[in-house]
Structure 1
Amino acid sequence: MAIQQATVTITGFVANDPILTETPNFTVLNFRIGSSRSRLDMSTGEWKDVGSCWIPVKAFRALAVNTHKSIRRGDKLIVLGTLTTEQWKTEQGETRSRMVLEASNIGHDFNYATTTLTKVPRTSQENKAENVAAQGVTLQTRSEEEPNQRQNMPADDDFESNSGI
């Protein structure tokens, strides 16, 4: 039986200042993304807004910390994640709910800007495994005796050429 998930990708802008919160078990980042649609009005040749969608976004653990250090209100983003429904009761006992995008990946939208990547050093292998597990990445460690795998890459590939990998 397949597990169904409402995985979505949203492009838009950071609508508020992101809020980073520490819980006893993990770190959470909350912000809203606004996504506006527009269409070309053929009679005037101008683009017209035809509606906006406002989505609360939550990120956890390392993604929360790194995103908080990297984004600001107004930044254009691409967010990939799973739609979930949060439910709670008001003081009057009424049930309330809202859709939330639990992010698995967040990045700047390069249609509008450039950015510089800064790798975050990990303090231990245990922390590294915990931080990437939430992103579905399998860690592979390389012993110091293993040859550098980058030596077989084409000469014109200078991606991360100064990173020491």
Structure 2
Amino acid sequence: MYETHTAVVGTVITNPVKRSTTAGEEVISFRMASNARRFDQATGEWTDGGTLYLSVNCWRRLVDGVAASLMKGDPIVAYGQLRTAEYTTKEGVERSDLEMRASAVGPDLARCVAKLERGQRVPAQNQDEVVEEERPEEELEAVAG
């Protein structure tokens, strides 16, 4: 099996859908589009190039974060392993689709503003482990600006 990892900057074009596999694992999937835009110096305007469409599948810890954070229209950056899925439609037509098994998904902060909600931190179990301290909410807001 090949392993091609890449980052794709684009827009969520379908609302994420959560489902469970027969093995009981949860997965959340959505489609995204990445548009190429180029500045045409001759005309002084931006022109649209081609569009890359792909399905993004998120597993394990990503499921809850994506479910709580993303919806259709959101600008995102997705990073993961690209694969080609080949299938036959109900009409018997052979098709292929580009899929990403995401290992990280987040907002594209060049096109939106996001407020982080950090989860609970688990205290260290022994003296050798380092514990990150929780900052008071006021301090977090001051740091964020």
TM-score by structure 2 length?
0.77
Alpha-carbon distance, 1:13 to partner: 0.6
Structure 2: state its 5+ residue gaps. Answer: 138-145
SS in 1 for 2:87: strand
Structure 1 regions of 5+ residues with no counterpart? 126-140, 152-159
Per-residue Cα deviation, 1:84-132 (whole angstroms, up to 9, x for no partner): 122334456665432201100000011112212223459xx9xxxxxxx
Question: Could you tell me which residue of structure 1 aligns to residue 51 of structure 2?
Answer: 52
Query: Whole-Å Cα distance in 2 between the matches of residues 37 and 19 of structure 1?
Result: 26
Identical aligned residues as a percent:
26
Q: How does 1:1-165 map to 2 (within 5 A)?
A: 4-23=2-21, 24-91=23-90, 95-121=94-120, 142-143=124-125, 149-150=131-132, 161-162=135-136
Distance verdict in 2 for CA 1:69–1:96, change over 3 Å: same
Q: Which has the higher contact order (CA 8 A, sep 6+)?
A: 2
Of Structure 1 and Structure 2, the greater strand share is in 2
| TM superposition outliers: structure 1 runs of 4+ over 6 Å | none
**Which amino acid in 2 is paired with 1:97?**
S
Report the AA paired with residue 9 of structure 2. T
Contact 1:87-1:98 at 8 Å conserved across structures: yes
SS at match of 2:33: strand
C-alpha distance in 1, partners of 2:89/2:115? 43
- Mark the CA change 1:38 to 1:90 in structure 2 (over 3 Å): closer, same or farther: closer
